[in-house]
Amino acid sequence: MSLETPAQSQAEALPVGTPRLHLIIFAVLLVLLLIAPFVLYPVFLMKVLCFALFASALNLLLGFGGLLSFGHAAFFGSASYITAYAAKDWGLSPELAILLGTAAAAVLGLGIGALAIRRQGIYFAMVTLAFAQMVFFFAVKAPFTGGEDGIQAVPRGHLFGFIDLSSDLTLYFVVLVIAFGGLLGIYRIIHSPFGQVLKAIRDNEPRLISLGYKVQRYKLAVFVMSATLAGLAGATKALVFQLASLTDVYWTMSGEVVLMTLLGGMGTVFGPLVGAAALVTMENYFAGLGAWVTVLQGVIFVASVLLFREGIVGVIARLTKKSL
Amino acid sequence: MKLRTLALASLAALLMAGSAMAQTSVKIGVLNDRSGIYADLSGEGSVIAARMAVEDFDAAAKGINVEIVSADHQNKPDIASNIARQWYDQDGVDAIFDVPTSSAALAVAEISRDKNKIFMDSGAGSADLTGKSCSPNTVHWTYDTWALAHGTGSALVKEGFKKWFFLTADYAFGQALEKDTSAVVVENGGEVVGAVRHPFPGTDFSSYLLQAQASGADVIGLANAGGDTVNAIKQAAEFGITQAGQKLAALLIFITDVHALGLETAQGLVLTESFYWDMNDQTRAWSKRFAEQNGGNMPTMVHAGVYASVLHYLKAVEATGGKDTTAVMAKMKEMPTDDPLFGKGEIRADGRHIHDMYLFQVKSPEESKGPWDYYKLLATIPAKDAFRPLADGGCDLVK
């Protein structure tokens, strides 16, 4: 797809020194993530990374494109199903399975996006939700998805034919590369001229139209990118947990990822990571509390909406007067 | 806290050194739904049941130190898989119990096989656990969809209810349930006069129920689960279907659902379960103790299954004098099972636990003498007929 952009003369909106700060944060993050599996449980960390990527993908669309998709589980889940099926029944190697799943999410994103971007606001959200429900029903009924049981016992296989992924630690570093690569990709997109146009569309769409930008193409492009990255997260998760199930395509998954993004800080670079880490930690370490987990999630959500609407990272950014 | 336990344990071990008794510490995990739709039929009740099994076995006196941990998998297989991995890898859990929701149970079964630990399922229904997805590390205790479909199907036809009409949830699970039950009905000389598929999940069943009513069938089989079954039963009550003489057979329902529906609505419903609290003196005594700890609520068959499976597991640990997975699994399959709730039984090579199943009918409010007096026994399905024959499951362990 070609994106013809009229003369680009956006002044860098970020305060001076911000890229440097971001670089430092990314570096510190990478170091922490490299040490983390030796301190914390690797499978848990992989889950955090998958959801961090998923939430960042949604944030690309929501925080920077201004489009609230309530159907991102469709991309996450369908990629996870395709990857699981390709790895298990076709015996594809993990890298091909992940690529296939991600590609499927991209194609699905193109189809759904092309229709959804014709509407705005709540209608856009509803259209994406409706499509996600269709994907859910497809997953319930299609013979290859295993219905309620999902696709189980997906082999992790050997990456490129020689790296054995059955060890959690090895797989962790592969997931780290995928997720971190995805995050850097998103960062690059946000700070490209394309990203600047996106933010401008988010802030004042009629103005951009009057300036001669083909707004719909930008929206579609960012929708497909977001869907693809969500698919990448879902595909990776299928290999980590060795299963694909209805949970991944259910509408609550779409809700959960919106919650992660809002809690962490919509429209910030690092917010979704923090939000994903917070929610996954809650789900995991408080599992012993039973029903209180969901209550706690609800309370936190209400509190974050009422008290700090910018999200955790949003608040930090405001207090430190830095763009994060 | 942990340190103190450890110190005490090692002190105890020190004192006992020299005596013949070996000290074994086992850690068992009860993983189930503690917040969602299955929280009543499994949930905290299963933890109580496991604790009662440890007490009744008198584990401490036999030199077995048992610790119980529990967690909520929210009916999501990925959370279940995550917790199971963590329990096995980090927390030193030796065996996982309960695990309702088929997708979660299948996930835990795979992990238990990978990590060579023991998984004893009570809450999930999938017959695949001891069929094509069977594993040398899995025991499936309480029930499965095959047993429920066959129990209800064959017993009702034998009682003379020959003409069936199915109300089926239109997805793999419902279709499989309908197919299984239809086969049994026909095999036993019955007849399937019709079937209607409803979308999943469904809310309005009125047109389907009217169709079922008009079909002239003796039995309306509900090949669905959870909320669908409950809604269908409620609406059937509004149409007065059971009062008009047709039988309503729910293929997957628990006593807690009947409790929630109330007798007025659920009366006349026919169902199969493997345990009912009011069967004999032993079940009544056990259930009374259980109810005292569970806010007055009687146990479901899932709770009973957790109790019985923990008990059998501990017996095998005692018999082998350790917790080596292979030895304990072999012992559990070799040793006949015997507990107050399911009576005598056995664990087959494919991991399926074999016991009698019972066909119950829900009492009318007039017949019921008190709280939780819900079922009357219609038929007992003997253990040998209650479960899928060993050869038919497609399990690799059966040769």
Low-confidence ranges of chain B (pLDDT < 50): 1, 13-20
Residues B221 and B360 in one domain: yes
Q: List per-residue pLDDT tens for chain A, 324 residues long.
A: 444 444 333 334 455 567 889 999 999 999 999 999 998 889 999 999 999 999 999 999 999 999 999 999 999 999 999 999 999 999 999 999 999 999 999 999 999 999 999 998 899 999 999 999 999 999 988 888 887 788 888 888 888 888 888 888 999 999 999 999 999 999 999 999 999 999 999 999 999 999 999 999 999 999 999 999 999 999 999 999 999 988 899 998 999 999 999 999 998 999 999 999 999 988 877 766 766 777 888 888 888 888 888 888 998 988 888 888
Residues B61 and B186 in one domain: no
Angle between helices A73-88 and A251-264 (to 10 degrees): 120
Question: In the structure encoding, which two tokens stand for residue A67, read together?
Answer: 């489009």
Question: In the structure encoding, which two tokens stand for residue A244, read together?
Answer: 């694909």
Which pLDDT score is estimated for B211?
A: 92
CATH code at position B229: 3.40.50.2300
Q: Give me the helices (H) in chain A, please.
A: 18-35, 42-59, 73-88, 94-116, 121-141, 168-190, 193-203, 205-210, 215-241, 251-264, 271-285, 292-307, 311-320
Interface list for chain B against chain A, based on CB atoms closer than 8 Å: 34-35, 39, 43-44, 69-74, 76-79, 81-83, 85-86, 89-90, 102-103, 106-107, 110, 126, 128, 133, 170-173, 200
Residues B376 and B238 in one domain: yes
Among candidates A140, A149, A245 on the partner chain, residue whose Cβ is nearest the Cβ of B126: A149
Minimum distance, in Å, between the CA of residue A168 and any CA atom of chain B: 10
Residues B153 and B252 in one domain: yes
Among candidates A146, A288, A292 on the partner chain, residue whose Cβ is nearest the Cβ of B71: A288
CB contact under 8 A, B78 and A153: no
Residues 121-160 of A with CB under 8 A from B: 140-141, 143, 146-150, 152-153
Question: In the structure encoding, which two tokens stand for residue B18, read together?
Answer: 């020299």
Number of residues that this document lists for chain B: 399
Domain assignment present for B391: no
Domain assignment present for B399: no
Partners of B269 in the β-ladder = B248
**B342 Cβ contact partners less than 8 Å away, ≥ 6 residues apart:** B274, B275, B304, B305, B308, B353, B355, B356
Residues B151 and B230 in one domain: yes
Which pLDDT score is estimated for A14?
A: 52
Render the burial of A24-44: b for 16+ CB within 10 Å, e for the rest.
Answer: eebeeeeeebeebbeeebbbb
Domain assignment present for B393: no
Which pLDDT score is estimated for A8?
A: 38
Q: Select from B95, B148, B370 the least CA-distant residue to B259.
A: B370
Report the predicted TM-score, pTM, of the whole model to 2 decimal places.
Answer: 0.83
Measured CA to CA, the distance from residue B207 to residue B347 in angstroms comes to 44
Residues of B in contact with A293 (CB under 8 A): 35, 72, 74
Residues B230 and B289 in one domain: no
CA angle A138, A143, A148 (to 5 degrees): 70
Residues B362 and B230 in one domain: yes
Contact between A238 and A56 under an 8 Å Cβ cutoff? The reply is no
Residues B302 and B209 in one domain: no
Residues B306 and B339 in one domain: yes
Domain assignment present for B43: yes
Measured CA to CA, the distance from residue B361 to residue B375 in angstroms comes to 6
Residues B382 and B235 in one domain: yes
Domain assignment present for B119: yes
**B176 Cβ contact partners less than 8 Å away, ≥ 6 residues apart:** B145
Residues B35 and B122 in one domain: yes
Among candidates A243, A290, A293 on the partner chain, residue whose Cβ is nearest the Cβ of B77: A243
Print the domain residue range for B59. 2-143+280-355
Residues B254 and B370 in one domain: yes
Measured CA to CA, the distance from residue B286 to residue B299 in angstroms comes to 9
Measured CA to CA, the distance from residue A237 to residue B251 in angstroms comes to 34
Domain assignment present for B396: no
Domain assignment present for B163: yes
Domain assignment present for B235: yes
Residues of B in contact with A241 (CB under 8 A): 77-78, 81-82, 107
Share of chain B above pLDDT 90, in %: 66
Render the burial of B349-370: b for 16+ CB within 10 Å, e for the rest.
Answer: ebbbbbbbbbbbbbbeeeebee
Amino acid at A31: V
Which pLDDT score is estimated for B16?
A: 47
Number of domains, chain B: 2
CB contact under 8 A, A149 and B128: yes
Render the burial of B179-213: b for 16+ CB within 10 Å, e for the rest.
Answer: ebbbebbeeeebebbebbbbebebeebeebbebbb
